[in-house]
Amino acid sequence: MNYRHAFHAGNHTEVFKHAALTLILEHLLQKPKPFAVLDTHGGIGVYDLLSDEAMRTNERDVGVNKVFGRPISTAPIYQNVLESLNGQGLRFYPGSPELVRRVLRENDRLIVCELHPEDGGTLRERYRGDPRVYVHLRDGYEAIGAMLPPPERRGLVFIDPPFEGKDESDRIAQALRSGYRKWATGIYAVWYPIKDTTLGDRVSTAIRDAGFKNAIRAEFCPIRRDGVTLAGSGMAVCNPPWTLKHRLQRLCDELVVLIGGKFASWSVEAIPDAQAA
């Protein structure tokens, strides 16, 4: 599966992913102590929904077009960033680096990795004037081993790959093992696209094998799974905030009304401890 963000900006998987991400950010903002976010696959930060890539697919019609200008009570940060980025008319869509950057306080940090040289250059130029944001043109998986733990000792590792390679789930598993060895108490969120149950099961297995004792798996599919269509997406979170499971359930309930179809489905469940399985 190839998931270059520019072609899918603002689709239903992006809405779920980014709304879920802001729930974790809300938790980190509750304490005055600084936090750090490592975003392993940053893309370009902000996407023009009138670009050739976005217009070629028009996937925003089944995603952000249905939520923009409507209240999203379960994800207020997500809604606020959308509105502040666009004003009255929808044109731009915030990727994960932009969502994080807009909530950073003075002493919080965002470390963004992007391996694609053109996208990485765009990202670096976009955030050149923000001293809280550090852009690295490097492999995000390798950065997990090299940059953890952060000096702040609290924060999030957000793993959001394009799933261009057949070995993506293996690389995720290796990254999670490395992350657990370096920073076992950090929050790790892994996003994945859904056509069937295969990829989600692999991510869950990777989390158990890495050694994490507390993790949840949330999946939101506004389209029926048939093994071919991009039906939705999932977010697996290691060391989740204690309120996150309930908040994700409420988010899915709300998104079903806003963007769900006749065969929409969702689930939020614990990933069993590997040692207990």
Read off the tokens for 149. 């733990």
Read off the tokens for 261. 């179809």
**Residue 276 banded pLDDT, cuts 50, 70, 90:** very low
C-alpha span between 46 and 135 (Å, rounded): 14
Which CATH number belongs to the domain containing residue 165 in this structure? Answer: 3.40.50.150
What integer best gives the mean pLDDT of the chain?
93
Distances (CA, A) of 271 to 163, 208, 215: 22, 8, 5
Are the beta carbons of 45 and 97 closer than 8 angstroms?
yes
Q: What is the mean pLDDT of residues 35-40?
A: 98
Residue showing tokens 């009138």: 50
Q: Is residue 275 part of a domain?
A: no
How many CB atoms are closer than 10 A to CB 227?
A: 9
Number of domains comprising the chain:
1
Q: Is residue 243 part of a domain?
A: yes
Q: Is residue 97 part of a domain?
A: yes
Q: Is residue 277 part of a domain?
A: no
Q: Is residue 99 part of a domain?
A: yes
Q: Out of 160, 170, 226, 253, which one is annotated catalytic?
A: 160
- Return the H-helix or E-strand segment holding 82: helix 76-86
C-alpha span between 259 and 277 (Å, rounded): 35
Alpha-carbon dihedral angle through residues 164, 54, 230, 1, given to the nearest 10 degrees: -10
**Residue 1 banded pLDDT, cuts 50, 70, 90:** very low
Say whether pLDDT at 54 is over 80. no
Give Dmax (Cα) for the chain.
Answer: 51
160 is catalytic: yes
Q: What is the pTM of this model?
A: 0.95
pLDDT at 197: 86
Domain extent for 125: 5-270
C-alpha span between 170 and 168 (Å, rounded): 5
Q: Is residue 220 part of a domain?
A: yes
**Residue 162 banded pLDDT, cuts 50, 70, 90:** confident
189 Cα distance to chain centroid: 7
Q: Is residue 71 part of a domain?
A: yes
Q: Is residue 276 part of a domain?
A: no
